[in-house]
């Protein structure tokens, strides 16, 4: 079996249950790498006065974790700048928040080159190389420039935007051209793949061949959708653990007699937290008989705090939650519990299980793993109801959730009412179908499908040649 060399912006090998800070990408990659015993390379999260390219390596659970420090200017321009102030908002349809600054683009290119130079010695001839996410789109081109001839795949964890939107990015053509240096490019959903292909046809004069490969810029690559999943069995086990049971007990005791609605999201404007609070306010207004018997728990660990838009959203959420609690609370009840911190996965699992409703309403989301975790944590005897935004990639698979338009307060408010009054047999029927999908399309299936397709690109190429 070939080794897997994974390259992503951040590297973190969380333990199965712990590691509170992890985002979706690192959870998924850690689960993927445990199996392949390969190498995981990325930024250490630390700064250095001058870039040296010196690697720090350690072995964790059979995986070689290799990291490099970056200069402050790199972090400003590449990470806070181009990745999180240009690409992230644009790819999540927030062109109003996108900053287009030349220095950001230059920093992005510089760090991709630095990453490729540093990672190069880690790659052996037989390795498969797998690059992740919007921080590192040009990485494949840089590795090729340094003579890496191995199969290289790229997976985008966030949405690929519509063609009209994407062309608002200065130098959009160069970015897409660099993607044609990969053997395989993967997206979360068929819709994102379709949007990418539309760009290729309209802007790059490219074509999709009969065998599904894509031809443009004088090169032919494979492009496919690989919906990511969670480690469903591990999560189910965690949900049955002692810590999860204790967390469940605490939740039940502190919300006695009330139905809990839970939201768990990084504090990010794309997650639709502001719209969700307003929709919940609408629900409280529309359903006065529910006052006192329902509680919305929002857990939102801070994220990307050096970016202005993230400070703004945090301030707005503070204001809304305070205002709504002020307007509706009584001396023994508050409608919202808003918690800005991280929890261990086992604690989260207990919280998910204690909640009658999982409220997952991003305005845009590549996939959304919280929706899948919520389902995996439920008790089969008394499962809760998932409310899911149609704009989460997960909605394409999780059709037994109550699918909502997160921009419509009425729509979300109606779905909350429906979820809270759904009888046990319907909850079970929906949950069983959802759970079957979460287990079938788990992170191992995602990893194995991608790796098999990447390996296969060379087999097919040889056959064609």
Give the residue with the Cβ less far from ligand ADQ, 184 or 348. 348
Least distance CB 340 / ligand ADQ (angstroms):
9
Could you list the active site residues? Answer: 157, 365
CA Rg value for the chain: 22
Instruction: Give yes or no for residue 342 binding ligand ADQ (CB under 6 A).
Output: yes
Instruction: Give yes or no for residue 304 binding ligand ADQ (CB under 6 A).
Output: no
With beta carbons less than 8 A apart as the criterion, state whether 103 and 126 touch.
no
Helix or strand run (H / E) with residue 319: helix 308-328
Q: How far apart are CA 138 and CA 239, in angstroms?
A: 39
Q: How far apart are CA 103 and CA 73, in angstroms?
A: 10
Which residue of 5, 28, 351, 377 would you call a contact of ligand ADQ, by CB under 6 A? Answer: 28
CA of residue 120 relative to chain centroid, distance: 27
Q: How far apart are CA 222 and CA 213, in angstroms?
A: 5
Instruction: Give yes or no for residue 27 binding ligand ADQ (CB under 6 A).
Output: yes
Looking at 18-26, 42-50, 209-217, 448-456, which segment touches ligand ADQ (CB under 6 A)? 18-26
Least distance CB 373 / ligand ADQ (angstroms):
5
Which residue of 10, 34, 135, 157 would you call a contact of ligand ADQ, by CB under 6 A? Answer: 157
List CB contacts of 176: < 8 A, sequence separation 6 or more: 199, 200, 203, 204, 216
Q: How far apart are CA 27 and CA 231, in angstroms?
A: 9
Instruction: Give yes or no for residue 276 binding ligand ADQ (CB under 6 A).
Output: no
Site string for ligand ADQ, 346-375 (x = CB under 6 A): --x----------------xxxxxx--x--
Give the residue with the Cβ less far from ligand ADQ, 80 or 282. 80
Which residue of 287, 343, 417, 429 would you call a contact of ligand ADQ, by CB under 6 A? Answer: 343
Looking at 21-29, 69-77, 111-119, 329-337, which segment touches ligand ADQ (CB under 6 A)? 21-29
With beta carbons less than 8 A apart as the criterion, state whether 146 and 117 touch.
yes
Q: How far apart are CA 130 and CA 155, in angstroms?
A: 8
Helix or strand run (H / E) with residue 222: strand 219-225
Q: How far apart are CA 92 and CA 391, in angstroms?
A: 10
Class of residue 29 by CB neighbours under 10 A (exposed 0-12, middle 13-18, buried 19+): buried
Q: How far apart are CA 379 and CA 187, in angstroms?
A: 32
Looking at 17-25, 113-121, 402-410, 429-437, which segment touches ligand ADQ (CB under 6 A)? 17-25
Site string for ligand ADQ, 253-272 (x = CB under 6 A): -----------x-x------
Which residue of 4, 11, 13, 25 would you call a contact of ligand ADQ, by CB under 6 A? Answer: 25
Least distance CB 90 / ligand ADQ (angstroms):
14
Instruction: Give yes or no for residue 6 binding ligand ADQ (CB under 6 A).
Output: no
Contact set with ligand ADQ (CB under 6 A) = 20, 22-25, 27-28, 157-158, 228, 264, 266, 299, 301, 342-343, 348, 365-370, 373
């Amino acid at each position: 079996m070939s080794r897997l060399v994974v390259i992503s912006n951040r590297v973190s090998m969380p333990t199965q249950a712990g590691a509170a800070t992890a985002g979706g990408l690192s959870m998924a990659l850690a689960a993927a790498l445990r199996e392949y015993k390969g190498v995981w390379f990325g930024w250490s999260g630390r700064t250095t006065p001058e870039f040296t390219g010196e690697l720090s390596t350690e072995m964790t659970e059979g995986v070689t974790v290799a990291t490099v420090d970056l200069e402050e200017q790199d972090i400003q321009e590449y990470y806070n700048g181009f990745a999180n102030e240009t690409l992230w908002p644009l790819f999540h349809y927030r062109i109003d928040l996108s900053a287009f600054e030349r220095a950001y683009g230059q920093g992005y290119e510089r760090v991709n080159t630095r990453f490729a130079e540093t990672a190069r010695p880690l790659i052996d001839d037989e390795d498969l190389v797998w690059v992740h996410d919007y921080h590192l789109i040009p990485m494949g081109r840089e590795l090729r420039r340094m003579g890496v001839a191995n199969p290289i795949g790229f997976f985008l964890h966030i949405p690929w935007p519509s063609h009209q939107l994407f062309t608002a990015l200065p130098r959009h053509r160069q970015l897409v051209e660099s993607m044609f240096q990969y053997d395989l490019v993967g997206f979360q959903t068929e819709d994102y793949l379709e949007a990418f292909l539309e760009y290729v046809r309209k802007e790059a004069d490219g074509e999709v061949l009969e065998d599904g490969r894509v031809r443009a810029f004088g090169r032919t690559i494979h492009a496919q959708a690989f919906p990511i999943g969670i480690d469903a069995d591990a999560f189910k086990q965690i949900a049955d653990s002692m810590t999860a049971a204790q967390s469940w007990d605490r939740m039940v005791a502190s919300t006695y007699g009330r139905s809990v609605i839970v939201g768990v999201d990084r504090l990010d404007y794309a997650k639709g937290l502001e719209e969700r609070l307003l929709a919940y306010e609408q629900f409280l207004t529309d359903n006065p008989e529910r006052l006192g018997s329902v509680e919305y728990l929002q857990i939102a660990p801070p994220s990307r705090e050096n970016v202005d838009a993230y400070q703004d959203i945090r301030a707005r959420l503070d204001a809304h939650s305070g205002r709504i609690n002020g307007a509706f609370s009584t001396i023994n009840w508050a409608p919202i519990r808003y918690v800005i911190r991280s929890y261990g996965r086992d604690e989260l699992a207990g919280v998910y299980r204690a909640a009658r409703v999982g409220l997952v309403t991003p305005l845009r989301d590549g996939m959304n793993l919280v929706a899948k975790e919520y389902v995996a944590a439920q008790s089969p005897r008394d499962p809760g109801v998932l409310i899911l935004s149609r704009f989460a990639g997960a909605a394409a698979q999780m059709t037994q959730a109550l699918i909502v338009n997160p921009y419509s307060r009425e729509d979300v408010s109606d779905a909350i009412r429906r979820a809270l009054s759904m009888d046990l047999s319907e909850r079970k029927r929906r949950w069983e179908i959802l759970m079957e999908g979460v287990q079938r399309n788990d992170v191992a299936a995602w990893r194995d499908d991608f790796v098999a397709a990447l390996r296969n690109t060379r087999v097919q190429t040889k056959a064609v040649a």
